[in-house]
Structure formats: C-alpha cells, structure tokens
Structure 1
C-alpha cells in the first residue's frame, strides 16, 4: 500500500450538465469539457445490489487536476442520488491504483466501505464512503490503457485550449 497517493480528479454532482458546464466555462475558466452522455457502467453494484444508473459525465482539465461533472438522469440507487443545491455538490476525489483489491482491504481495515463498484471500459473502480471523515467520497480506479489514453487526451487538449469548441461530445 502506498504511503502517499496522487489524486487526479475532483468531481461534482450537478442537476443539469447543460446548466453546469457553462458556469464552469465562464466563472471558473475551466474547459473544454468532454461530455459522455448516458455513460455506461458495467457490473455496477451499489451497497450490495446490482444497479444500472443512467448518468452523463463531463470532464475537463485544469493544470494537473481533472474536473468531473456528473448528472444522474434517473432515480436508480447510486452514490450520485443526493439532494442537490442548484449549483451542485462536491462529491468525490479520485486516484488511480495498480491494485484495487489492496485498496479495498486498506479502506475496510479503517471501517470504510466500498459502496459502489463497477467497470468503466476495462478499468475497475470503487467508491469509498469517506464522507464522515473527509466530507466527500473517494474513488479509486485501476490503471487502464484505454482510460489513461482518454484522460491524456483531456489533459493535452486542456493545456492547449484557446477557448474554441468549449463543449465536445465523446462517443457513447
């Protein structure tokens, strides 16, 4: 288990991506956003039960940090079904790992449950309910060439962004 972890992402759950993205573009000067509508999560389990939440995500890069905005379109139980203020709610930070099972054991040894697990592409992930100790959840995702390629693209485009084409769609 690593003594220190590098977090690459901070995420917000929002009521509506179409409203939230322009706010982030105009007020925080973060962009461009890459949007994945109705993102698929395979083998999703929330608090022990299989789930199929309908979510859309948007990601942008600002310096070394990725900003993720998440909108859930249905009422399916998930970590994203929370009471939301109009501007959204800080939800989680995320890091990658080489050994998700070891991370699950690490958090379990501290009494922190992996409340949401699944696959994005070929990358396994787990959300840990660290809200009582940190004020937000923690996501740990296994390294994956496909996911790292996508995140690399977001980072490169973000570093070179000239303000044009601020919202870009990703294939679903």
Structure 2
C-alpha cells in the first residue's frame, strides 16, 4: 500500500475582517423534506433527530402562488418543528392541487427527501435580486397566511442538490416561529 499524502490545508478568500454583504449570510434557518406521507416523515424526524414535535397545518395557507411566473392553485399539508435553532419543515403536496415544485420533486423522487434550504431575509427584494443574479429566475413564489409573509424558491440544485427558499416573515409568522422554537404549545393553539 502506498503512503497516504499529507493533508493540504488552505483558506479560500477567508477574511474575518471583511464585512459580509450577501443578503443570505445570517439567515439560514430551515431545511425541508417533501414527502408522500407527512405523519410518517414527522415521526421519523422526531426519532432520528430529536425534534420536539410538529405544528401541522392541513391545507397550508399558501396564497397567490406562481410556478415559473404562472398562477397556480397549490394545496399542501405542512408541518413545522425545530431541532435546536434550525426550523424543520415537512411538506406533503395534496393531490387536488396544481403541479408545483413539490409534486415535481415527488415525481422524480417518489420516496421523498430533502428539498430545500430556507433563509430568513430582512430585505426581501435585495435577496431576490441576489439569487436571480446568481441562481437564475424564481421557480415558485407566493404568500403564507394573510399577513404578508413572502417566499420564493430558486433552483440551486446544480450547486447544493437542493432548492433555496427565501422567507420574509410578517409579525404573526415571526411570532409563530418564535413559539415553535420555544416549544410553547399553548401559544400555538391560541
């Protein structure tokens, strides 16, 4: 057997004094699984990773959704939980809705799996512009709930193997996420 070469260590453009200017730098908050069986996926995530449970929304409140610029009638069941500081989202597309990036994913991966990373952003327009410049056009976008929470997906699969979602939270969604993170069940049911 030949001798293994010594490791080479290097830093690529690493400068702690450089101010981060990317609108996604501090916003990683979520990973998402798309699945054909919401309850089974939640149960497995709880067992594998220790999520404290999930807040389940049947017929999740997604509104004014567009797939590649065209309006669609999207129907999904959603579950939100936390593992430490990271939000875990589980999505099951419902059969009565139009095609969307979740149904497309299950067509390609019938067993389900990791679908996207989510980034909470404070300047939604700057983040959208950044990803449009670096990843291409918006694949799917819309609103969550009725208060103005926005989301947009970009196809970053050639780099990460997953989509990237941008999220801008209105006050009610921020409150929901904070209650989930605290595992405050009573606040969630109010």
The aligned length equals: 161
Among 145, 168, 174, the residue aligned to 1:142:
168
Q: Over aligned residue pairs, what C-alpha RMSD do you find?
A: 2.1
TM-score, normalisation: structure 2: 0.77
Q: Report how far residue 28 of structure 1 moved.
A: 2.5
Match of 1:108 among 117, 132, 135: 132
Between the two structures, name the one with larger relative contact order (CA 8 Å, sep ≥ 6).
Answer: 1
- Choose from 62, 67, 77 the match for 2:99: 77
Report deviation, 1:105. Answer: 1.3
1:7 paired with 2:28, answer: yes
1:124 aligns with 2:146: no
1:45-60 paired onto structure 2 within 5 Å: 45-60=66-81
In the TM superposition, what is the alpha-carbon distance from 1:31 to its structure 2 partner?
2.2
Give the structure with higher Rg (CA).
Answer: 2
Stretches of structure 1 lacking an aligned partner (at least 5 in a row)? 162-168
- Note if contact 2:79-2:90 (Cα within 8 Å) is conserved in structure 1: yes
TM (norm. structure 1) is 0.85
User: In the aligned structure 2, how far is the partner of 1:141 from the partner of 1:6?
Assistant: 9
User: In 2 relative to 1, CA 43–2 (structure 1 residues): closer, same or farther, beyond 3 Å?
Assistant: farther
1:152 to 178, 181, 186: 178
If each structure's strand is expressed as a fraction of its own residues, which one has the higher value? 1
In 2, distance between residues paired with 1:119 and 1:60? 20
1:111 CA drift (Å): 4.4
Work out the CA distance in 2 between the residues paired with 1:65 and 1:14: 19
